[in-house]
Amino acid sequence: MIIVDTALQKRESEGRPIKVGMIGAGFMGSGIALQIANSVPGMRLCAIAARTPQRGIDAFAQSVDAESVIRASSQADIEDAIRSNKPVVTDDPVALGRAQGLDAIIEVTGSMDYAASGVLAAIETGKHVIMMNAELDGTVGPLLKAKADKAGVIYTNVDGDQPGVQMNLYRFVQGIGVKPVLCGNIKGLQDPYRTPDTQRGFAEKWGQNVHMVTSFADGTKISFEQAIVANGTGMRVAKRGMIGPDPTGRDPTLPLRPLEEYIDLLAPHIDPEGPGIVDYVVGAKPGPGVFVLGTHDNPRQQHYLNLYKLGTGPYYLFYTPYHLCHFEAPLTIARAVLFSDAALTPKGAPQVGVVSIAKKNLATGEVIDALGGFASYAEAENMDAVAAEGLLPAGLAEGARLIRPVAKDEPIKFNDVHLPEGRLIDRLYQEQSDLFGLSSHGAKS
């Protein structure tokens, strides 16, 4: 926030706000629209693409007269509205992505093809892309980053969500000379067998999408999030699904334990000389939040770290006890547009993928439903293993039809399913494999 706030105030005083388009107008998109309108000088949300345009109108209506929002069906209509400083809504993410007059887009849908089409259009027309879509980023983020590099724009995941907050902390720890060896996420619950039926009450209470809420509970979301962090740092996972110490035994009513107590549970899985690992813990305090474990090999600096209450090592704990999602997301837009700085972006070839695991016994002919559904949950896995076993990426799983049975808790493989025809996400995944010299199943060829 420091420096960024000053730069935004300068843009405001000059009458040159950063002009933003947004793809998605759900729970999080609505919050971002409200935040930009009321709390971010020097930035203006100009256009929203939503599959249900009324949701985009409702998002704008939190801060402007709904009657002033224009419904656009073409790129030209969107551009006219931007020039006229009138809020505009469309159902076409490609038209929004291509529209002239925008500095950046932020993607917040959690979808695959719908989101990818808009992101590609934005990159191709020279706009920075800010991702609040862990699912798409964790599936083809390295390819999208390569395309953004070629176009000369920034591709970044978002500050405020756990991956971006982890990367902020990683950069801080690295910046003071401590070597990060583990990036971690703090969860309150982890149960792979949660379904939309079990999570419906919570979703309705908070006005959230029930499949998204289920993906938080069953481990799908955190698998995508930690894969993104791994791909941004070069880290890996210690094992499929990560370690995930959980003293609660899936009972969220048990008292929280201090985060420091988890270090000994994670330490045996860390190679101090390796690239580091990503992981998570359940039932820790402070939480929710993120943490980084680091090492230092200088005895004098170890003495100082002990003096500053970080203990005797060998692992030093740094943590951020909150993530504020939509409150912080606009700051990532500003970092990209004003400073060409990515909060979190892939370093190169994917290091960790996210694979589908059967949530129940799956029968031949059954069709896998959406992420956070009834058929599957997701786990993070190192890319060499993804390829060696031909594992099905979770980002490709929705709509896949089983051509042979898969037992509960077994990974679903490419040769277990028939994928739907004609999807953009499948083409992008293959393009990513080709770009980085990977086999069609994701490993080095």
Partners of 49 in beta bridges: 23, 90
Q: DSSP characters for 113-135? A: HHHHHHHHHHHHTT-EEEE--HH
| Beta-carbon count within 10 A of 374 CB | 15
Q: What is the pTM of this model?
A: 0.95
* Residue in 65, 3, 301, 11 with CA at minimum distance from that of residue 178: 301
Which residues have C-beta within 8 Å of that of residue 168, sequence separation ≥ 6? 159, 320, 343
Domain ranges of the chain: 4-159+326-339, 162-322, 352-435
DSSP state of 172: H
The per-residue pLDDT for 440 is: 56
CA 413 from chain centre, in angstroms, equals: 24
* Cα–Cα distance measured from residue 131 to residue 22, given in angstroms and rounded to the nearest whole number: 10
How confident is the prediction along the chain (445 residues), in pLDDT tens digits per residue? 679 999 999 999 999 999 999 999 999 999 999 999 999 999 999 999 999 999 999 999 999 999 999 999 999 999 999 999 999 999 999 999 999 999 999 999 999 999 999 999 999 999 999 999 999 999 999 999 999 999 999 999 999 999 999 999 999 999 999 999 999 999 998 999 999 999 999 989 988 999 989 999 999 999 999 999 999 999 999 999 999 999 888 787 788 889 999 999 999 999 999 999 999 999 998 888 999 999 999 999 999 999 999 999 999 999 999 999 999 999 999 999 999 999 999 999 999 999 999 999 999 999 999 999 999 999 999 999 998 999 999 999 999 999 999 999 999 999 999 999 999 999 999 999 999 988 755 444 3
Domain 352-435 has CATH 3.90.1210.10: yes
* Cα–Cα distance measured from residue 436 to residue 159, given in angstroms and rounded to the nearest whole number: 27
The per-residue pLDDT for 441 is: 55
* Cα–Cα distance measured from residue 114 to residue 380, given in angstroms and rounded to the nearest whole number: 24
* Cα–Cα distance measured from residue 22 to residue 89, given in angstroms and rounded to the nearest whole number: 10
* Cα–Cα distance measured from residue 210 to residue 216, given in angstroms and rounded to the nearest whole number: 10
The CATH code of the domain at 4-159+326-339 is: 3.40.50.720
